[in-house]
Every structure is written in C-alpha cells, then in structure tokens.
Amino acid sequence: MTDPFREAQPEKPAPKAVISRVSLYLRQLENLQRFGHKTISSSQLGSLLGINDAQVRKDLAHFGPFGHPGIGYQIEELIPILRGILGIDRVWKTALIGLGNLGRALLRYRGFRGRGFQVIALFDTDPKKIGQTHAGLTVHSLQELPTVAAELGIQLAILTVPAEVAQAVADLAITSGIQGILNFAPAPLNLPETTALVSVDLSTQLEQLAYKVLTAHAGQIPPHE
C-alpha cells in the first residue's frame, strides 16, 4: 500500500495553517544552518517562532517521520524535504500583471527570486506602459497574455491591478493556462476549483493593526481625535 518511491507528500493536502507554519520552519532552519547549527529539537524551533513544541512535531509528522528521538531534527536533512513539500525546489515561471507602484516594487523584491519564483513576463493595459522595459523585461499588452503565456509556459501570475478589473484579468489568466494567482487587488476573486489562489490584502492588514492598537490600549485613546 505504501510506495517507497513516492515523494514526501501527504495523502490529503495538509491544512492551510500547517503549510504556513512549514514556511516559517524552513526559513528558521535556513537561518540556523547559516550559523552552523546541525540539529534542533521541536521545542527549540518552536520557541524561536512562538509555536508550541507539540505543534511543531505534529506539523512535521504530517509529511513523514523526519525526526530522531532523543536527538531532534537534522537541519541539513530537513531543509530540502521542506523545500520539496512546499514546491520551492523548482523554478516557477511567473507573470507580473499590472505595473503600478506595487507591481514594479514586487518585480524587484529579492524574496521572490530566491524562492524559485522567476518573473519572466510583464503585462499591462496602459498604452504608455506597454513597450517599456523593467528589470530587463518588456511590458506586453494584456491582450497578448494567452499567446505569451503559452509560448513561455507561464504557470503563475502576480496580480497587481485595480480592484475593478481584477476578476476579468484573473479570468483571462486562467483561460491562458495559468495555474495559480497571487492576488494583491482588494477584491474577492471567484476562480474554478482547479486554480490556486492566494490573496494579500494590504488595506485589510492595516485595519487589523488599527483594531489591535485600539483594543490593546482599550479606553486610553479618545474615540475621535
């Protein structure tokens, strides 16, 4: 019933919360390795990230028995396993759609390239932007998305377009064969089950912060200043 040649992957997709912690574990392990550490226990790793030790063990055990009782986890051994689980052990061909301020900033963001996300095509609808060059790439008209995506084999899209057009652009991306969208537009997107979607909603985040400040200092801030 078990296939020894299969990759370390769960039977069912692990809960979303588990996966976001796996990202944190990986980054922490990479930092530890940089400082010469060889092994780490679940309680050490957890306390660095503010996570319960049982949770660390349970999260990792989801994917296989990677730990060594009495010793902990081998950092060098665990890193490539986690990279494989997350799917960042390969190159992801990515398009950036929308070259406003945020789009241009993300294009230069180093955190992406180092994780295997390679932006290889740019798209916009603004005639003034089409034809411009950013980070060595020429901006295409959005109309060209289907042909360019097919030609280059684009898999992911980073969406930094206005909320009003986000759904239409996402629809076009999907008919162009794109498998996953990282959405920065503050709009709820309706996509088919087969397409992966992660949304990053910056204004919502700031609202969370305002609420937290208000409740942390409950009563100390006048209601309207």
Site of interaction with DNA (CB under 7 A):
15-18, 41-43, 51-55, 57-58, 60-61, 65-73
With a CB cutoff of 8 Å and minimum separation 6, the contacts of 4 are none
**Residue 218 C-beta: closest distance to its own copies, Å:** 8
Token code pair at residue 115: 């994780």
- The verdict on 24 binding its own copies (CB under 8 A) reads yes
Distances (CA, A) of 197 to 96, 111, 158, 184, 209: 15, 19, 10, 11, 24
Distance CA 143, CA 126 (A): 11
Contact between 135 and its own copies per CB under 8 A: no
Question: Using CB distances below 5 to 8 A depending on partner kind, what does residue 150 bind out of its own copies, DNA, none?
Answer: none
Which one of DNA, its own copies, none is in contact with 137 (Cβ closer than 5 to 8 A by kind)? none
Q: d(Cα 21, Cα 53) in Å, to the nearest integer?
A: 12
Q: Is 1 in the site for its own copies (CB under 8 A)?
A: no
Residue 72, exposed/middle/buried by CB under 10 A (0-12, 13-18, 19+)? Answer: middle
Amino acid identity, residue 83? R
Q: Measured between alpha carbons, how far is 42 from 26 in angstroms, rounded to an integer?
A: 13
Reported as type and span, the H/E element at residue 195 is none
Site map (CB under 8 A) of its own copies, residues 50-89, x = contact: x---------------------------------xxxxxx
Smallest distance, DNA to C-beta of residue 170, A: 23
Least Å distance, CB 4 to DNA, is 17
Cβ 70 to its own copies shortest distance, Å: 27
Tell me if residue 142 falls in helix, strand or coil: helix
Using rule CB under 8 A, residue 102 touches its own copies: yes
Distance in Å, CB of 130 to its own copies, minimum:
20
Could you give the 3-state DSSP secondary structure of residue 125? coil
Kindly tell me which residue out of 38, 49, 126, 152 binds its own copies, with binding defined by CB under 8 A: 49
Q: Of 158-197, which residues contact its own copies (CB under 8 A)?
A: 179-182, 186, 188, 190, 193-197
